[in-house]
Structure 1
Amino acid sequence: MGKLEAVKAAPSRGAEWMGTIKMVIVTLAFVLGIRTVAAEPFVVPSPSMVPTLLIGDELLAAKYPYGIGKYSSPIGLMPDFAGRFAGHLPDRGDVIVFRLPRDPSETYVKRLIGLPGDRIQMKGGRLLVNGEVLPRRVAGIYQTVLDGTPQRFARYVETLPGGREHPILKRGVGSPLDETPEFTVPARHYFMMGDNRDMSLDSRVPAAEGGVGFVPEENLVGRADRVLYSRDPEVAAWDLADWRGIFRADRFLGRID
């Protein structure tokens, strides 16, 4: 008597499509989960954070340190709510990606200078926190090219309350933002500034005057932790003579302090 062999039916075309669709959904859910909870990439478009961040840097903003806010989702799925939950409060000196309070469709990156309750002021081009002038030391000259024009800045290393240091650039005394009134940071808000002090639109300019103003905690997106890669926008992709310089390899995966 012959043996009966089990015959496995070939999957139907519909079953194959369903399997593919399920795989795509799972993959998208995984990517969205990573971007929502863990980290999200952003490209730096302006010189406001030079020398810490350069135009053309693609940075990775870690979301988990500050918990979950309504702008944690990259595609706007989060409900509209104030404040944050989970995570911890930002530290003074963090470089932070946030949504612009007067226009949340725009994303900015600046350094956190003022915590809730702090008094912040500029006098003679020097930064004061709670009435004390922050110490800084000379760190040479910084030269770069912005929009095709050579630029030259004085470079300093500034020390924030608590001892954290970071570089800043100044062209000299006399910038419109070198003299400001004293700002008192409201509860659950933050005061942000660019490291390129004379080329940064930041919390020194109130939102009502077209600036950043105080940033509510729910507008924080994440902490800028690393530069994934960097492309020099001054080098055109079709300029074969300089093409090898189009990428700044020394900045790849660099830590942001």
Structure 2
Amino acid sequence: MAEAKQGNSIIETIKTIVYALLIAGVFRTLFFQPFWIPSGSMKDTLLIGDFLFVNKMAYGYSYASCPTVLIPAIGINIDAEDICGWMKSGDPSKGGERFMAGAPERGDVVVFRHPVTGRDFIKRLTGLPGDKIQVKAGVLQINGEPVKLEPAGTFEEIAEPQGPQRLRPRCENGPVGTGGLCTKSRFTETLPNGVSHDILNIAMQNSDNTPVYTVPEGFYFFMGDNRDNSSDSRVPQQVGGVGFVPYENIVGRADRIMFSSSGRSMLFFWTWRSDRYFKRVE
């Protein structure tokens, strides 16, 4: 009798775990997906260690709305396409379609699947379908017109390894030794629809002068706010960049930072950034 009760208890525990995973999977697929900022490509809007939830309801649903489960330590690598590949467009050249579709707006901070690797990226939407996008001497040009730029002081941080990957920041005043003050020029960029946000400058480099890119219908053009430290649509996919991003590859919109930690682990409470809790993403 005791063995039967123990067996039933184990079965009930397994059922509870399975139900919890199913509920979590449905919630993550339909509503909000957690996202941890791993790199500095969106400074100072987003810092390494910011934790946020991606609003999947903002733009509707596609195959990219399904979760990717990646746990290398135990060999789990389940891609969204493995689960929901049947939802992919039959003609990817048109950017794909979405269910309950909503159009992203210029200036939105968006999580999307890289068109080649399938990994999740987070960048700012700067180019809409049909736009002509170019960067001249570090200034974004949209349909032949430069965006408005205003000096906004200096962004400062300590030159030290950051986050779980221990990435070192690039500095405009560099090279800077560990523990030194790393600075970057900061500007407020205003897009044609009136959306304003900060961008950072480190140095003049190839990505500060680009050809004219005409965004195809059904695709979008993304850039990082830390302009000189971002792999984004300015570099074509053929040479390792992001290139144009299909509509169906968009996962959702980043609206608010929920938690932030500047250390190697979120468990290191002394590295928590309390001033960033529930901070709106702008």
| Range of TM-score over shorter length | 0.7 to 0.9
Query: Which of residues 188, 212, 227 in structure 2 aligns to 1:182?
Result: 212
Which residue is 1:160 aligned to?
Answer: 191
* Length-normalised TM-score, structure 1: 0.86
Please give the TM-score of this superposition, normalised by the length of structure 2. Answer: 0.79
Q: 20, 23, 33: which one pairs with 1:27?
A: 20
Letter in structure 2 aligned against 1:78:
C
- The offset of 1:69, in angstroms, is 1.2
Superposed displacement of residue 87, structure 1: 3.2
2:51 maps to 1:58: yes
Report the equivalent of 1:200.
230
Deviation per residue, 1:172-218 (Å, 9 max, x gap): 5x221111000000111100000011111110000101111001111
**SS of equivalent residue, structure 2 residue 85:** coil
Residue 233 (structure 1) shift: 3.0
Q: Distance in 2 between matches of 1:202 and 1:41?
A: 21
Aligned AA for 2:279? Answer: G
Aligned counterpart in structure 2 of residue 128 of structure 1, from 132, 141, 144: 141
The more displaced of 151-160 and 15-24 is 15-24
Give 1:28 shift: 1.9
- Deviation per CA, 1:65-96, whole angstroms, max 9, x where unpaired? 11111121114321341222213011111101
2:45 alignment partner AA: T
Q: Aligned residue for 2:113?
A: 99
2:85 corresponds to = 79
The Cα shift of 1:219 comes to 1.2
Give, as a single letter, the amino acid of the residue that structure 2 aligns with 1:86.
M
**Aligned residue type for 1:90:** P
1:139 and 2:152 equivalent? Answer: yes
Q: Which secondary structure state, in structure 2, belongs to the residue aligned with residue 156 of structure 1?
A: strand
Q: Output the CA distance in 2 between the equivalents of 1:131 and 1:218.
A: 28
Does the 8 Å CA contact 2:188/2:197 hold for their aligned counterparts? yes
Structure 1, unmatched stretches of 5+, are 1-11, 238-242
User: 1:34: how far off?
Assistant: 0.7
Say which SS state the counterpart of residue 84 (structure 2) adopts: coil
CA distance in 1, matches of 2:104, 2:214: 18
Give the CA RMSD over aligned residues. 2.4
How far apart in 2 are the matches of 1:125 and 1:22? 56
Corresponding letter in the other structure for 1:56: G
1:170 lines up with 2:201 in the alignment: yes
> Could you say which residue in structure 2 is the equivalent of 1:4?
none
Query: What is the count of residue pairs matched by the alignment?
Result: 242
Report how far residue 171 of structure 1 moved: 2.4
Separation in structure 1 between the aligned mates of residue 231 and residue 188 of structure 2, nearest angstrom: 20
- 1:254 corresponds to 2:279: yes
Residues 1:219 and 2:246 are matched in the alignment: no
Bigger radius of gyration, 1 or 2?
1
C-alpha separation between the residues in 2 aligned to 1:110 and 1:40? 16
The amino acid across from 1:103 in the alignment is T
Aligned position for 2:175: none
Deviation string 1:7-57 (CA, Å, 9 cap, x unpaired) is xxxxx6355555444433332221111100001111111111000000111
Secondary structure, in 3 states, of the residue corresponding to 1:25?
Answer: helix
Secondary structure in structure 2 of the residue aligned to 1:34: helix
**Structure 2: runs of 5 or more not aligned:** 69-79, 90-95, 160-167, 169-177
Q: Distance in 2 between matches of 1:188 and 1:245?
A: 45
CA contact (8 A) 1:235 1:245 kept: no
Give 1:236 shift. 11
Q: Verify: 1:88 aligned to 2:81, yes or no.
A: no
Q: Which amino acid aligns with 1:67?
A: G
Cα 1:21–1:244 change in 2 (3 A) is closer
